[in-house]
Structure 1
Amino acid sequence: MSERSGDQSFVKKLLALVLAFGPGIFAIGYTIGTGSVTSMIVAGSTYGMELLWVLMLSCVFSGLLIYVYGNYALLTGETALYAFKKHLKGGKIIAILIILGITFGQWNSLMGILGITANIIFEILAINFPDLRGIEYKTVLLIAIGIIVVMYGLLLIGKYTFFEKVLVIFVTIMGLSFLISLFMVYPLPMDVLKGLVPSVPQVPGGKMMVAAFVGTTMAAATFLSRPLFVQGKGWTRSHLKRQKKDAITAAVLVFIISASIMAVASGALFYQGQPVTKVLDMVQVLEPIAGKFALTLFVFGTLSAGLSSIFPCLLIAPILLADFQSGTLDTNSRQFRIITAVACLFALIVPVFGANPIEMQILSQVFNVFVLPLVIVGIILLINNKKLMRGNPTHVLVNAGLVGALFFSVVISYNGVMALIEFF
């Protein structure tokens, strides 16, 4: 009896720990979706661990920006785009450009995410019901419609705390799935160390992959939405330390989960000379190498990554618009319902036309890097405004980190332009 109660107590503690996770859960939801999974799989299977340094730098800068945007909100009570519009010269135009750029990138990503997620569910069903292969297009489309209708329904009935709990479930399943897979299939330790040395694969698509890595890991949507999610959590100036810890935890988890996906792809496929360009290719080749259990875990992880990203991607446009208008998000407003409905219809474009969503995913991640410099410059100007910060000067190391992030984002944006020129 005592043993059973001890087990129950452990489960309750574990559940409480998971549910105690703060707004950083949205950072993971925005960052690790099927687009990120696709990028990590393609990189791991094609280049091994060579791009690990890009992932690490992106996560370091991402964690810093999440922290800084959260701190600004707690110290001033203002959200990001509203502050840009109010305090920066030309801030209104900058904010509008950021809204358009991020919405374009996230909605394009949403199409790919829904397409891949629907295809994964179809593959699972087809294993048990082979006759579905004859009506693949219709089945995938119906699955996609079903997913987006359910997600839209959850958005209409939910508040911040509800959104957070849904994401916690998806992200926990995703993280555990990929981490357990890593214990079964892993790369050579020496290759992991070499991956921390900066280099760009001198092959077709190498530049594109570097830009996609940064676009998916150092996502501007993550930072800009942070103030609203911090508000939704009910945090105040008294939660500054907790906000910092939450930002660090989010960045560390993004790195661990993303690196695990890359490492599984590298360990399973790179050494066999089997580069893949699709999540479903990974699913098909992983089974003979790692077994059915690892395959099942990887499928569940990828599925959870897709579902955890659909939610934040649908939220991004109304979040940014609400931020720009007043700094407050009303999930019961007519504006919120209309914009999320349009996003849902937009998400169905890839499934309706039966297109391959993989290239769209990679391209959408590349487009995400172009608004990064604007987002970083904006917050540097705000946090160094003494009047706004009310006797809370920004530490010199934080400023140095932000300058480093700005330089990194400009270099990657240039790299992204070159990659797009080569692609088209």
Structure 2
Amino acid sequence: MIKKWFKNIGPGTLVAAAFIGPGTVTLCTLAGVNFGMNLLWAMLLSIIATIVLQEMAARLGIISQKGLSEVIREEIKSPFFRQFITVLILSAIVIGNASYEAGNISGGILGLETVFGSWSISFGSFTVNVMSLVIGIIAFALLYIGNYKFLERALVALVLLMSVSFLITAIVTKPNLLEVFKGMFIPKFPEKSLLTIIGLIGTTVVPYNLFLHASLVKEKWKTSDDLSLAKKDTIISIVLGGLVSMAIIISAAAINSSEINNAADLAKGLEPLYGSFSKYFLALGLFAAGITSAITAPLAAAYVAKGCLGWKDGLKSKRFRAVWIIILAIGVVFSSIGIKPIEIIKFAQVANGMLLPVVAGILLWIMNKKSVLGNYSNTKLQNFIGLFILTMSIFLGLKSILKVFNVF
């Protein structure tokens, strides 16, 4: 039974690995410290929205046997509009993931440094963090092998490690279960919580995951008979990912301190309260969260470039490898010497803010095309839920753009 379950999990787990990055860990930490259990409902809403959109992406990938960016290129007939969407997608995903990769690697570093301390080498006025090179080498090795099944198994193992680590940390804090359920099912908007709510939803419903999922499912499943397996995989993986995010919020809510600003502080904050074991569980979770995102972000960018530019070759091709190598290298360099590319990250935030409603809208449009999906196009209920998510994504997109320019 367990062996069969392990055989059928895969792409959904990579999606969960992608959205639980260091940014999500830090944001969930701040949500728990500042607002207690009150924002758990926002994470529950995010999980539902993610399941709906990712199921559509998976269904599209299996039935069409094409990635989302490939279908967009084929279905948008207007040359100008097609070119505009292609440029927007490439900018947001490829450049955006390159700028966020430093944060992914830095998250893995936090986990290692919690246990081993800081290791660095100085070259004149430059100081290089050795841990970032270690994580970069691990990510490079896993990606360079270019075998989907091997990559899948490695990421599944890391996600399970991360999940167990954070869930145990939450259990050790002995939360009030009544408060947990109230936080999940009774929406509250504490003062100054709006941006945190937007952030929790925005870091879970991730645009590049839609491209990644549609591209990965066709590596594993080939016919409509596999749709039920893909759906189970999607639901189980994303629910597990959501539980991990909730566990981080619950762990952080147990700490009565205003000095907790990020996930590294959370590790230190838990130690005097619950002993050194919490520190090690959290460190393992942080390391796994950082390294899984450090692998999936370059992989997603390479898949998007492949689809947008019409490349037909596979994971081991020079062009495909060149994209993820460049993104991984940028992340390693920026994280190892401490450079924060603020302007690039601002551009990425704006592009992603614009991209989520655009991609969600195009995905909904494609999911209703009989010429692409035949009898597997969206039902009325799926369209209704999809339109609600689209409306929410437009709101989130506008808020994230206004936030970058300090308008809101």
Cross-structure match for 1:46: 34
| TM-score normalised by the chain length of structure 1 | 0.86
Paired with 1:423 and 1:356, the residues of 2 have a C-alpha distance of 22
Q: 2:47 & 2:30 partners in 1: Cα distance?
A: 19
Shift in Å at residue 34 of structure 1? 1.3
User: Runs of 5+ in structure 1 lacking a partner?
Assistant: 1-12
Q: Within 1, Cα distance between the matches of 2:214 and 2:40? A: 29
> 1:285-324 to 2 correspondence within 5 Å?
285-324=269-308
Instruction: Report how many residues are paired.
Output: 403
Pairing 1:397–2:381 present: yes
Q: 1:114 to 1:168 in 2, by over 3 A?
A: same
Match of 2:267 in 1: 283
Q: How does 1:226-305 map to 2 (within 5 A)?
A: 226-267=213-254, 269=255, 272-305=256-289
Distance (whole Å) between structure 2 residues aligned to residue 228 and residue 211 of structure 1 = 28
Residues 1:161 and 1:348: Cα distance change in structure 2 (over 3 Å) = same
Is 2:96 the counterpart of 1:108? no
* CA shift for structure 1 position 26: 1.0
Contact 2:267 2:278 in 1 (8 A): no
Question: Any idea what the Cα deviations from partners look like across 1:259-287, whole Å, max 9, x if unmatched?
Answer: 011111112x1xx1435222211111110
Do the aligned partners of residues 393 and 318 (structure 1) sit closer, same or farther apart at CA in structure 2, a change above 3 Å counting?
A: closer
CA distance 1:179–1:359, shift in 2 (3 Å): farther
Matches within 5 A, 1:50-65: 50-65=38-53
Structure 1 residues 276-308: Cα deviation after superposition (integer angstroms, max 9, x where no partner): 222211111110011111221111111111111
RMSD over aligned Cα, in angstroms? 2.9
**Aligned position for 1:371:** 355
Q: CA deviation at 1:140?
A: 6.0
User: Is 1:167 aligned to residue 129 of structure 2?
Assistant: no
Q: Which amino acid aligns with 2:19?
A: T
Deviation larger for 105-114 or 374-383: 105-114
Shift of 1:391: 3.5
Instruction: Report the secondary structure of 2:168's partner residue.
Output: helix
3-state SS, counterpart of residue 235 of structure 2: helix
Q: Distance in 2 between matches of 1:264 and 1:63?
A: 24
1:7-406 mapped onto 2 (5 Å cutoff): 14=2, 17-18=5-6, 20-88=8-76, 89=78, 90-126=81-117, 141-192=129-180, 193-203=182-192, 206-267=193-254, 269=255, 272-326=256-310, 328=312, 330-355=314-339, 368-406=352-390
Task: Kindly state the Cα deviation for residue 161 of structure 1 after the two structures are TM-superposed.
Answer: 0.6
Structure 1 letter corresponding to 2:143: L
Measured after TM superposition, the shift of residue 16 of structure 1 is 6.0
3-state SS, counterpart of residue 250 of structure 1: helix
Q: Offset at 1:182?
A: 1.4
Distance in 2 (CA, whole Å) between partners of 1:114 and 1:349 is 10
- Give deviations 1:38-96, integer Å, cap 9, x for gaps: 11111111111222222111111111111111112222233211111111242342133
Deviation per CA, 1:203-224: give whole Å up to 9, x if none.
Answer: 3xx4442332222200111111
Quote the Cα distance in structure 1 between the aligned partners of 2:220 and 2:100.
27
1:212–1:362: 8 Å Cα contact kept in structure 2?
no
C-alpha offsets along residues 168-218 of structure 1, whole Å, 9 cap, x if unaligned? Answer: 110010001111111111443343314543344433xx4442332222200
Deviation at 1:253, TM superposition (A): 1.1
Task: Provide TM-score, normalisation by structure 2.
Answer: 0.89
Corresponding letter in the other structure for 2:109? A
With over 3 angstroms needed to count, the CA separation of the structure-2 counterparts of 1:420 and 1:68, relative to structure 1, is: same
Gaps of 5+ in 2: none
TM superposition shift of 1:101:
1.0
- Match of 2:337, as an amino acid? F
Q: Structure 1 counterpart of 2:111, which letter? A: I
Identity value in percent? 23
Between the aligned partners of 2:52 and 2:120, the Cα distance in structure 1 is: 47
Separation in structure 1 between the aligned mates of residue 15 and residue 271 of structure 2, nearest angstrom = 31
Query: Secondary structure at 2:405's aligned position in 1?
Result: helix
Tell me which residue corresponds to 1:6. none
